[in-house]
Amino acid sequence: MQKITLEELVAYLKEQGFVFQGSEIYGGLANAWDYGPLGVELKRNIKNAWWKKFVQNNRYNVGLDAALLMNKEVWVASGHIGSFSDPLVDCKKCHSRFRADKLIEDYTHGEITGDGMSNEELTKYLLDHKIVCPTCGALDYTDIRQFNLMFKTHMGVIEEAKSEVYLRPETAQGIFVNFKNIQRTTRRKLPFGVGQIGKSFRNEITPGNFIFRTREFEQMELEFFCKPGTELEWFSYWRKYCMDFLKSIGVDGEKLRYRDHEQKELSFYSNATTDIEFEFPWGFGELWGIASRTNYDLNAHQTHSKENLEYLDPETNTKYLPYVVEPSVGVERMLLSILFSAYDEEKDETGKVTRTVLRLHPAIAPYKVAVLPLIKKNHSEKAYEIFDLLSEHFQAVYDETANVGKRYRRQDAIGTPYCICVDDNTINDGTVTVRDRDTMEQITLKVEEVIPYIDSKLKF
């Protein structure tokens, strides 16, 4: 059952300090979001969990942090410059913006799609057929320009074609262009994978649904290189690995499903693709794309760069381009699916909400532990001492305002799995009360037992 709507969640996250509207004091910037003190911890924990599972704890994989700005030729080879664009036109009168091919398609009820027409042909068709602006009825358009989804900027001080660079629309290409460097320096044999986390930018025409589709987002991508002929086995391996990972960090399994792409839907270079979808309040949406991409990307870079990217197979002494399986997921979509899974409200028999609780996995929760002195003037010094000790090991928070019951509720609402109450016993015999967020049960531990206790709960 849906516990919270998207609008309620957005308000909740703002109220608690997870996510704010970007540039808010200037009226905001559409679809830009800033991650507050809790959001930044949550996001970082998600990235750390992915990195641990996909890079550090996986015997096959290594990591990479490639530059965000890359040689323009990378995007020529990958096809992004050629095929990541739509023809855009503005109405000069009312300033509405349209895709020119879409105007023609709508006018002809789908008979002519405008696909493959040059800008000049599109303009001529609009004028010859008097296809007016659907908003204001004027026939007064700007010139058509190709709208590439990549953000373009200039490197250096001169704004000329030669200095053009793009903000990357995916992190994957940084991995492909480093394939040889990584294989040589790690002396890896196939199969092996390279993982990367980083920002990507797409000038999406229809961003929305909060952080689900934005123009600036972060991806966690793995390119897994394997021997041709073994790729479908590895595809199955990663398909399951990703699903298991999502469940292990607290995404509700009931809301997850695989959507295998049908043959006619597959890109021409892919022989298998699956999306792991999550049921958001507006319906199922893509969370994670897993694609078997054959040797398409390495081949494109080998052809375009004229650098030999082949792998010498020591077993067969033959050279070939490895095949690739790519699981690619957005950090923000994972965060959103975790929040929708974790949000809970406890109600009494009259239906009144008695407690709001974010049931986040302890490894993902922004704070693992809150340290609360029972009475500020008596216990704060000891509590600070304990906070200093614990914060060496975990993300911890200290709170001495309001009564302790209120402070427990506050921590429940931001997902802190453990609260430690410091009282006279702590001063007399070195024990603290540890309260569990989900069960609200309390146990007594020696201060030095708290670290191994919490540590044991962080596994996923």
Binding site for ligand GAP (CB under 6 A): 170, 172, 202, 204, 213-214, 217, 219, 221, 286-289, 328-330, 332-333
Cβ-closest position to ligand GAP? 330
As to burial, measured by CB atoms within 10 angstroms (0-12 exposed, 13-18 middle, 19+ buried), residue 271 is middle
In whole angstroms, the minimum distance from the beta carbon of 285 to ligand GAP comes to: 9
- The SS3 call for residue 120 is helix
What whole-number distance in Å separates Cα of residue 230 and Cα of residue 223?
15
In whole angstroms, the minimum distance from the beta carbon of 406 to ligand GAP comes to: 36
State the residue for tokens 């050629």.
82
In whole angstroms, the minimum distance from the beta carbon of 220 to ligand GAP comes to: 9
Smallest CA-to-CA distance from 53 within 200, 232, 230, 247 is with 247
In whole angstroms, the minimum distance from the beta carbon of 211 to ligand GAP comes to: 7
Cβ distance to ligand GAP smaller for residue 54 or 408: 54
DSSP structural state of residue 208: B
For 422, residues 6+ apart whose C-beta sits below 8 A from its C-beta are 371, 372, 373, 374, 379, 382, 383, 386, 432
Cβ distance to ligand GAP smaller for residue 43 or 202: 202
In whole angstroms, the minimum distance from the beta carbon of 66 to ligand GAP comes to: 13
As to burial, measured by CB atoms within 10 angstroms (0-12 exposed, 13-18 middle, 19+ buried), residue 354 is exposed
Cβ distance to ligand GAP smaller for residue 32 or 447: 32
In whole angstroms, the minimum distance from the beta carbon of 203 to ligand GAP comes to: 9
Cβ distance to ligand GAP smaller for residue 61 or 214: 214
In whole angstroms, the minimum distance from the beta carbon of 457 to ligand GAP comes to: 28
Residue 8: Cβ within 10 Å count: 13
DSSP structural state of residue 54: I
- Residue 130, sorted as left (phi over 0), alpha (psi -120 to 50) or beta, turns out to be left
Q: Burial letters for 360-397: b for 16+ Cβ neighbours within 10 Å, e otherwise?
A: bbbbbbbbbbbbbbbeeeebbebbeebbeebbeebebb
Cβ distance to ligand GAP smaller for residue 329 or 360: 329
In whole angstroms, the minimum distance from the beta carbon of 40 to ligand GAP comes to: 17
Cβ distance to ligand GAP smaller for residue 45 or 200: 200
Cβ distance to ligand GAP smaller for residue 123 or 171: 171
Q: Burial letters for 430-445: b for 16+ Cβ neighbours within 10 Å, e otherwise?
A: ebbbbbebeeeeeeeb
Cβ distance to ligand GAP smaller for residue 287 or 298: 287
- The SS3 call for residue 291 is strand
